[in-house]
Amino acid sequence: MVKEHQPTTQAFRARIVFICMSLGFLAVVVRLFYWQVLEAPKLQAAADNQYSRSTSVVGSRGLIFSADNFPLVANETVYRLFAQPKIITTPPEELATTLASLLQPELTASTAAELSEQTDALKTHLAEKLSQKDRNWISLFQPVSQETKDTIEKLELFAIGFDEYEQRWYPEASIAATVTGFVGKNEDGEDTGYFGIEGALNKELSARKSLSTVITDALGRKLFGSNDSETGVINGRSVTTTIRRDVQYLLYTSLENALKKYGAKSGEIIVMDPHTGKILGMATLPAYDPKHFSDYPAELYKNPSVVSTYEPGSTLKVLTVAAGVDAGKITAETICPVCDKPRVFGKYTIRTWNDVYNPNITIEDVLAKSDNTAMIFISELLGADTFEDYLRKFKIGEELHMDVHEDTKTPFPAKFGPVELATISFGQGISTTSMQLIRAIGSIANKGEMMRPYIIEKVEDESGQETLVEPKSEGRVVSEDAARQVVDMMITSAHSGEAQWTARDAYSVAAKTGTSQIPSPDGGYEEDKTIASFIGFAPAHEPAFIMLVKLVEPKSSPWAAETAAPLWYSIADDLLLMLDVPPNLYESRNAEDENETSETEAIVP
């Protein structure tokens, strides 16, 4: 019985072993299927995370060039000093002391005491960061120059390294800061352009990000023979401006000297080609260093020529006369019958600057005399509606459509009653900006056609594809004949008016002074505070440029004829040479010894 049962028992055991082996094999297959198929993406990601290192790579921000292809804004390579606290063996305080002394050339101290104070603060800061032993990587200091980087690397400090990146570099420092703007950080810590061209064209200048991946060993070192995997690095587009470097330097240095000479609080100079609207130079002071913009008050960031409004005073009289001539209300021979005494409007009495009057003065002489009562006469001939229409045609208050960040509309008078009509006619009770004024009077220089001011010549991407900016007409403001008549009156103003003493015999100029009062916050006007301005173009009938000079609160003299005018002529002498104006276009004119006047505007209640 036992012998007969033994084969059956062995067969049963064999079947059990077979079933267990089959189940085990099946379990292995299922497990392999689970890891290699179902969990494959997770495993691959884990492997990539362990053996590869990905970093975000940003292309270079676009450059900003002058018209002669010199960089106004470029990029420079700098470095970020970092550490790996988790594996550092040197005591944090000791390492911090070493690094702080080596980083001294990167500090901004101007005295030995400041340097010592900043070094101690940096040492404390570095020690705190190096003490964070749970950190695999931590940034210590930036930016670091190539020279300082080389000095630190010679010490071969363990777990200390550098990351390379780019930052903005300004070869011309402050001379075009309000034109170019600067680059700062946005809320996400990304480079962003602010103000000027940097702010207006931030999207064009900005570079795109990409992901760079390398294969590393367990210590994070790149494996030999592995290639970088990089996707889509696209550099920002570069911008070429209309600003001539030689002109910009001339304007900036001349303005800098003038502020010291005349004791002015601030100043602006703009040079434009009236035939195209191309801005050749634009200088403002006080300025700031765009590389260290945070060290300066924020009010300096904006371009005052574009955003700061002021009452233009007598320079606006050019537009009043142009409107009267174009509308057919006056000619050069028209006599003013009401210019023999002050004008009274209810409780307001409007006088000339020195309470001297010119009975039967002709319109040909009113700009040279800068006669307020004659301007009132012209505006009354036009009527409030027509005069307002002309000011709007001259785009007073309208935005410029320039590629600068602060460009916007400015307030326009809401009321043109009798008093408002009278004061606006000679430049009070109305506000404008320097760029709006030069745009308006530029139309007179360009035979009555207004050109849109522009400061960008072209935009170019990294493939070399260019987008050119063409001159754009804003339309005809006054007739060519009216413009010619006004130019002749402006010539008389420049060579026979209050600034005749500084005019040149060698070339003719069409120009007008403006000595305007500064409104007081509590109403009325500030005493003994003026804005002195001088706007003109040369040569008068074939102008190579139109230039506006403005000085705010000059101390040496309140009169434009004694401050802004001589500054204008000293710059014009150099501009005619820089712009290669042929001498045969100079239209030599001898200044006449007459009409020795000065002017300011005043409204006396």
* End-of-domain residue from the set 197, 219, 241: 241
Q: What is the per-residue pLDDT for 228?
A: 53
Q: What is the per-residue pLDDT for 583?
A: 79
Q: Are residues 465 and 564 in the same domain?
A: yes
Decide if 583 is inside a domain: yes
CB 421 within 8 Å of CB 379: yes
Q: What is the per-residue pLDDT for 270?
A: 98
Q: Which pair of tokens denotes residue 55?
A: 């970093």
Residue 592 has pLDDT above 70, yes or no: no
Q: Average pLDDT of 412-423?
A: 95
Q: Within a 10 A sphere around the Cβ of 23, how many other Cβ atoms?
A: 10
Counted residue by residue, the chain has a size of: 605
Distance in angstroms (rounded) separating the CA atoms of residues 351 and 507: 34
Decide if 428 is inside a domain: yes
- Which residue pairs, CB below 8 angstroms and at least 24 apart, start in 229-233? 230/57, 232/208, 233/57, 233/58, 233/59, 233/207, 233/208
Q: Are residues 319 and 432 in the same domain?
A: yes
Please, which pLDDT band fits residue 56 given cuts at 50, 70 and 90? low
Distance in angstroms (rounded) separating the CA atoms of residues 320 and 444: 12
Q: Are residues 256 and 215 in the same domain?
A: no
* End-of-domain residue from the set 241, 275, 297: 241
Q: What is the per-residue pLDDT for 49?
A: 54
Q: Are residues 181 and 292 in the same domain?
A: no
Q: Which pair of tokens denotes residue 368?
A: 């040279």
> Which residues make beta-bridge pairs with 52?
215
Q: What is the per-residue pLDDT for 604?
A: 36
Which residue in 184, 154, 172, 146 sits closest to 61, CA to CA?
184
Q: Average pLDDT of 521-532?
A: 85
Q: Which pair of tokens denotes residue 454?
A: 């522009």
Q: What is the per-residue pLDDT for 602?
A: 42
Residue 187 has pLDDT above 90, yes or no: no
Phi, psi of 141 (to 5 degrees): -165, 145
Residue 580 has pLDDT above 60, yes or no: yes
Q: Among 124-133, 401-410, 450-459, name the one with the lowest average pLDDT.
A: 401-410
Decide if 348 is inside a domain: yes
Q: Are residues 121 and 59 in the same domain?
A: yes
Decide if 418 is inside a domain: yes
Q: Are residues 477 and 555 in the same domain?
A: yes
Q: What is the per-residue pLDDT for 278?
A: 98
Distance in angstroms (rounded) separating the CA atoms of residues 95 and 102: 11
Q: Are residues 236 and 251 in the same domain?
A: no
Q: Are residues 230 and 280 in the same domain?
A: no
Distance in angstroms (rounded) separating the CA atoms of residues 438 and 434: 6
Q: Please, what is the Cα angle at 576 between 569 and 481, to 5 degrees?
A: 85
Which residue in 444, 179, 153 sits closest to 287, CA to CA?
179
Question: Which H or E element spans position 100?
Answer: helix 92-102
- Judged by DSSP in three states, 378 sits in helix
Q: Average pLDDT of 147-170?
A: 91
Helices (H), 456-506: 480-496
Q: CA dihedral in degrees (301, 304, 309, 314; nearest 10)?
A: 170
Q: Among 199-203, 215-219, 286-290, 549-553, name the one with the lowest average pLDDT.
A: 215-219
pLDDT, tens digit, for every residue of 442-493?
A: 999 999 999 999 999 999 988 888 999 999 999 999 999 999 999 999 999 9
Q: Which domain holds residue 199?
A: 55-241
Amino acid identity at 488? D
| Contacts for 247 with CB less than 8 Å, ≥ 6 apart | 271, 280, 281, 575, 578
Decide if 42 is inside a domain: no
- Judged by DSSP in three states, 72 sits in strand
CB 398 within 8 Å of CB 409: yes
Q: Are residues 545 and 531 in the same domain?
A: yes
pLDDT, mean over the chain: 87
pTM assigned to the model: 0.82
CATH code, domain with 66: 3.90.1310.10
Decide if 43 is inside a domain: no
Please, which pLDDT band fits residue 41 given cuts at 50, 70 and 90? low
CB 119 within 8 Å of CB 104: yes
CB 495 within 8 Å of CB 509: yes
Distance in angstroms (rounded) separating the CA atoms of residues 426 and 430: 9
Q: What is the per-residue pLDDT for 334?
A: 96
Please, which pLDDT band fits residue 558 given cuts at 50, 70 and 90? very high
Please, which pLDDT band fits residue 24 given cuts at 50, 70 and 90? confident
Please, which pLDDT band fits residue 115 given cuts at 50, 70 and 90? very high
Q: Which pair of tokens denotes residue 104?
A: 């001294």
Q: What is the per-residue pLDDT for 222?
A: 52
Q: Average pLDDT of 65-73?
A: 95
Decide if 252 is inside a domain: yes
- The better pLDDT of the pair 507, 227 is held by 507
Q: Are residues 298 and 198 in the same domain?
A: no
Question: Which H or E element spans position 171?
Answer: none
Q: Are residues 459 and 373 in the same domain?
A: yes
Residue 271 has pLDDT above 60, yes or no: yes
- Give the DSSP per-residue string, 335-347: B-TT-SS-EEETT
Burial class (CB in 10 A: 0-12, 13-18, 19+), 557: middle
CATH code, domain with 332: 3.40.710.10
Number of domains comprising the chain:
2
Please, which pLDDT band fits residue 322 given cuts at 50, 70 and 90? very high
Phi, psi of 536 (to 5 degrees): -170, 170
Q: Among 257-261, 282-286, 494-498, 569-573, name the one with the lowest average pLDDT.
A: 494-498
In Å, how far from its chain's centre is CA 433?
16
| Contacts for 281 with CB less than 8 Å, ≥ 6 apart | 243, 244, 247, 248, 250, 251, 269, 270, 271
pLDDT, tens digit, for every residue of 210-258?
A: 666 655 554 445 555 555 555 555 889 999 999 999 999 999 999 999 9
Amino acid identity at 227? N
- Give the DSSP per-residue string, 427-445: T-S--B-HHHHHHHHHHHH
Which residue in 496, 585, 498 sits closest to 537, CA to CA?
585
Q: Are residues 294 and 235 in the same domain?
A: no
* End-of-domain residue from the set 241, 276, 300: 241
Distance in angstroms (rounded) separating the CA atoms of residues 272 and 441: 11
Residue 47 has pLDDT above 80, yes or no: no
- The better pLDDT of the pair 410, 522 is held by 410
Q: Within a 10 A sphere around the Cβ of 419, how many other Cβ atoms?
A: 17
CB 168 within 8 Å of CB 290: yes
Distance in angstroms (rounded) separating the CA atoms of residues 107 and 86: 28
Decide if 520 is inside a domain: yes
Residue 594 has pLDDT above 50, yes or no: no
Q: Give the start-end residues of each E strand in 245-347.
A: 266-272, 279-285, 343-345
Helix (H) and strand (E) counts in the chain? 18, 22
Distance in angstroms (rounded) separating the CA atoms of residues 319 and 430: 13
